[in-house]
Structure 1
């Protein structure tokens, strides 16, 4: 979107906890806080300005997210055609398509250049607290995406035995899991980064960007490693890597 629309202000409607990441990355201009339980669509957006020039639905194939954006009365609304309505404008939704290919195809359908391989993020300015470490992230949003803690610990133990520095990262609420992995692996308590609250995004990005390798489940940390071009081993659960890797 940034390269296709260089003169536009880019506003991301997303949970407020992502504000730190938005500031650190600079890939969008500002965050519009959007609140809803779990992965639900918010009932409304706190948009107070004039109707946006373009609104893009990146939440799925609707209709709740499409209706939410339509309420803002944008000049152009970029969405997938609703399933079962072949005459509706917009590209068709393909459930077996990789996420990057899907959203880039939608943008191209509306005449915006989008390259699914153009996913690299700029390296963070902040120095890494553990350059060259192997970063383990045992957490994930959904339990089905989490590799067992004792297996992460076995990996950490083997890496430490071979002389690698190992850091176990944890998001908000993942502290007990990360500490358990570190303890089972025989790592020092200070090998755990984060846990009580989210790590500041700049620090997390620096850890990942300057890591020797990242070992993680299908989580945001794994995707961050891909975007920062860090070698990674990603353990997928119910969603195949051909769709989400």
Structure 2
């Protein structure tokens, strides 16, 4: 058995797909590849294909109820916590970034400058399992709603990555005028903001899908969508996985670290001067995000849709 750790979110799983596929190719015939990840990601894990899910909510309090793996692969972080968690499963071999403090001095050196997709491809490649950074595609699920929708997704994990709601409303209203069938998505916690945006944009109540879609339904929406407009968050990586035209708005983090693949129909907008190591503190959108105007988002949307090859 091979045990892989990636106990994070939607975007984290989507960006690890090329490396996961490299690990699958390294498996012996008939060998199980088990992914330790949150249970709520199960529908997305199924869309990757060929993985058994081992549910885990994080890095603490985990007790492995499985045979010692032949190989463990750390696609979670640079350690030491994640290294030690995998070591507690007693693998024969560990693939991970070098971390002497976790008793793993071998492996490649961690670099904060890596793009998230390339980081994990570099790791597996170091151990003789080359990965293709462009191998991001997920299985296309059946539609769960109308096809050809334009998805506006205003939410993000932290306030610093959330573009102002009034600007999303302006963009949504203008897209409707351009002939787009717009829906607003988000989590349960984002439903109120999504409802406000839809109202300001003149959308019907049924256009508010926030709080009404699990991760599987969200993937289906994106797979059959006309366009996705969002901040730097998980749905942007689903757009990359399904080659759906997208406009992604970046604030504290540069698209050089988390941006979409270099395709003409994926448009990343960033007005920052340096990439910060993570979400900036504070309750307000990052200054780089506030420099993005509704007009340039609409121009990028027009370009993304026009450049998508049929």
Separation in structure 1 between the aligned mates of residue 126 and residue 166 of structure 2, nearest angstrom: 46
What's the C-alpha RMSD, in Å, of the aligned pairs? Answer: 1.9
- The alignment status of 1:243 with 2:257, answered yes or no, reads yes
CA displacement at 1:52 relative to structure 2: 0.9
Work out which of the residue numbers 201, 208, 215 in structure 2 matches 1:201.
215
Separation in structure 1 between the aligned mates of residue 179 and residue 144 of structure 2, nearest angstrom: 19
Report the count of equivalent residues.
Answer: 235
Separation in structure 2 between the aligned mates of residue 138 and residue 81 of structure 1, nearest angstrom: 37
Work out which of the residue numbers 180, 195, 206 in structure 1 matches 2:196.
180
CA displacement at 1:50 relative to structure 2: 1.3
Q: Which runs of 5+ in 1 are unaligned?
A: none
**Superposition misfits of 4+ residues, deviation over 4 angstroms:** none
**Pairs within 5 Å for 1:70-85:** 70-82=87-99
2:11 aligns with none
Work out which of the residue numbers 48, 61, 75 in structure 2 matches 1:43.
61
2:181 aligns with 165
CA displacement at 1:43 relative to structure 2: 3.0
Deviates more, 1:232-241 or 1:203-212: 203-212
Separation in structure 2 between the aligned mates of residue 147 and residue 206 of structure 1, nearest angstrom: 24
1:52 aligns with 69
Separation in structure 2 between the aligned mates of residue 56 and residue 34 of structure 1, nearest angstrom: 15
**Pairs within 5 Å for 1:1-245:** 1-5=23-27, 7=29, 8-23=31-46, 25-36=47-58, 41-45=59-63, 47-82=64-99, 88-124=105-141, 126-195=142-211, 199-245=213-259
Q: Secondary structure at the match of 1:44?
A: coil
Q: Secondary structure at the match of 2:26?
A: coil
Separation in structure 1 between the aligned mates of residue 101 and residue 51 of structure 2, nearest angstrom: 36
Deviation digits for residues 52-72 of structure 1, max 9, x if unmatched? 111111121000000000010
Separation in structure 1 between the aligned mates of residue 185 and residue 244 of structure 2, nearest angstrom: 15
Q: Secondary structure at the match of 1:216?
A: strand
CA contact (8 A) 2:80 2:101 kept: no
CA displacement at 1:133 relative to structure 2: 1.4
Separation in structure 1 between the aligned mates of residue 100 and residue 65 of structure 2, nearest angstrom: 31
In 2 relative to 1, CA 6–137 (structure 1 residues): closer, same or farther, beyond 3 Å? Answer: farther
Q: Which runs of 5+ in 2 are unaligned?
A: 1-22, 260-310
Separation in structure 2 between the aligned mates of residue 150 and residue 53 of structure 1, nearest angstrom: 53
Query: TM-score normalised to the size of structure 1?
Result: 0.89
